[in-house]
Structure 1
Amino acid sequence: MPTTEKVRHLNAAELLDAVVDQGTFVSWDEPAQQPQANGDYARDLARARERSGRDESVVTGSGLIRGHRVAVIVSEFSFLAGSIGHAAAQRIVAAVERATAEGLPLLAGPASGGTRMQEGTLAFLSMVKITGAVRAHRQAGLPYLVYLRHPTTGGVMASWGSLGHINVAEPGALLGFLGPRVYEALYGEAFPDGVQVAENLFSKGLIDAVVEPAELPAIIGRALDILAVKPVAGSVSGTAASPATLAVRPSAVDAWTSIGISRQPRRPDLRQLLRYGADDALPLNGTGQGEKDPGLLLALARFGGQSCIVLGHARPLRKDAAGMGPGSLREARRGMKLAEELRLPLLTVIDTAGAALSQEAEEGGLAGEIARSLHELIGLESPSVSVLLGQGAGGGALALLPADRTIAAQHSWLSPLPPEGASAIVHRSTEFAPQMADAQGVNVAALYANGLVDHIVDERDDASLEPKDFCARMAKAIEYELGTLAEIPVAELLASRARKYRELGR
Structure 2
Amino acid sequence: MSAAYGRDLSRAAARSGRDESIRTGAGRVAGHRVAVVASEYDFLGGSVGRAAARRATAAIERATAEKRVLLALPASGGTRIQEGTPAFLQMLTISAAIAGHRAASLPYLVYLRHPTTGGVLASWASLGHVTFAEPGALVGFLGPRVVEALTGAALARDAQSPRALRHAGVVDAVVAPADLREAVQRVLRVVAVDRGPTTAESGTGAPPAGVEPGEPGHTGDPWASVLATRAPDRPGLREFLAASTSDLTLLGASELGQGPDMPGTPMVTALALLRGIPCVVIGQDREAQRHQPIGVRDLHAAQHAVQRAVDLRLPIVTVIDTPGAELSAEAERAGLAAAIAHCLAALLSTPVPTVSVLLGQGAGGAALALLPADAVVAAEDAWLAPLPPEGASTIMHRTVDHAAEMARELRITAGDLYRLGAVDVVVARGPAGVGTTAGLAGLAGAVARCLRAVAVRDAATRLAARRDRHRRLSS
Match of 1:312 among 278, 283, 291: 283
Output the CA distance in 2 between the equivalents of 1:141 and 1:100.
Answer: 10
Secondary structure at the aligned position of 1:316 is classed as: helix
Output the CA distance in 2 between the equivalents of 1:363 and 1:409.
Answer: 35
**Structure 1 unmatched runs, 5+:** 1-36
Q: Deviations 1:360-417 (Å, cap 9, x if unpaired)?
A: 2112110110011111111111111111000000000001110110000111010001
**Structure 2 unmatched runs, 5+:** 255-262
* CA gap 1:189/1:501 in 2 versus in 1, 3 angstroms: closer
Amino acid at match of 2:371: L
Match of 2:158 among 194, 207, 230: 194
Amino acid at match of 1:186: L
Secondary structure at the aligned position of 1:463 is classed as: coil
Amino acid at match of 2:266: G
> Which residue does 1:42 correspond to in 2?
6
The answer to whether the 8 Å contact 2:379/2:434 transfers is no
Q: Deviations 1:285-326 (Å, cap 9, x if unpaired)?
A: 239xxxx9821000001122311000011113474x231001
Match of 1:83 among 44, 47, 51: 47
Output the CA distance in 2 between the equivalents of 1:314 and 1:204.
Answer: 18
| 1:137 maps onto 2:108 in alignment | no
Amino acid at match of 1:56: E
| 1:383 maps onto 2:350 in alignment | no
The answer to whether the 8 Å contact 2:244/2:275 transfers is no
Deviation at 1:465, TM superposition (A): 5.2
> Which residue does 2:252 correspond to in 1?
285
Output the CA distance in 2 between the equivalents of 1:326 and 1:214.
Answer: 36
> Which residue does 2:405 correspond to in 1?
435
| 1:478 maps onto 2:447 in alignment | yes
> Which residue does 1:221 correspond to in 2?
185
Q: Deviations 1:167-194 (Å, cap 9, x if unpaired)?
A: 1100100000012221233345543322
> Which residue does 1:155 correspond to in 2?
119
Q: Which has the higher mean CA deviation after the structures are superposed, 151-160 or 269-278?
A: 269-278
Where has structure 1 moved over 2 Å in runs of 4 or more?
183-192, 228-239, 245-251, 316-319, 461-465
Output the CA distance in 2 between the equivalents of 1:402 and 1:369.
Answer: 15
Deviation at 1:455, TM superposition (A): 1.0
Amino acid at match of 2:134: E
Deviation at 1:238, TM superposition (A): 6.6
The answer to whether the 8 Å contact 1:235/1:305 transfers is no
| 1:72 maps onto 2:36 in alignment | yes
> Which residue does 1:21 correspond to in 2?
none
Output the CA distance in 2 between the equivalents of 1:465 and 1:200.
Answer: 35
> Which residue does 1:500 correspond to in 2?
469
Q: Aligned runs of 1:280-359 on 2, under 5 Å?
A: 280-286=247-253, 294-317=265-288, 319=290, 321-359=291-329
| 1:488 maps onto 2:457 in alignment | yes
The answer to whether the 8 Å contact 2:189/2:247 transfers is no
Q: Report the TM-score when normalising by structure 1.
A: 0.87
Output the CA distance in 1 between the equivalents of 2:324 and 2:294.
Answer: 7
Match of 2:60 among 96, 104, 108: 96
Amino acid at match of 1:471: L
Q: Aligned runs of 1:101-250 on 2, under 5 Å?
A: 101-187=65-151, 190-228=154-192, 231-233=198-200, 235=202, 247=211, 249=213
Corresponding pairs, count: 461
- Aligned-residue RMSD, C-alpha: 2.0
> Which residue does 1:3 correspond to in 2?
none
The answer to whether the 8 Å contact 1:286/1:293 transfers is no
Output the CA distance in 1 between the equivalents of 2:272 and 2:93.
Answer: 33
Secondary structure at the aligned position of 2:406 is classed as: helix
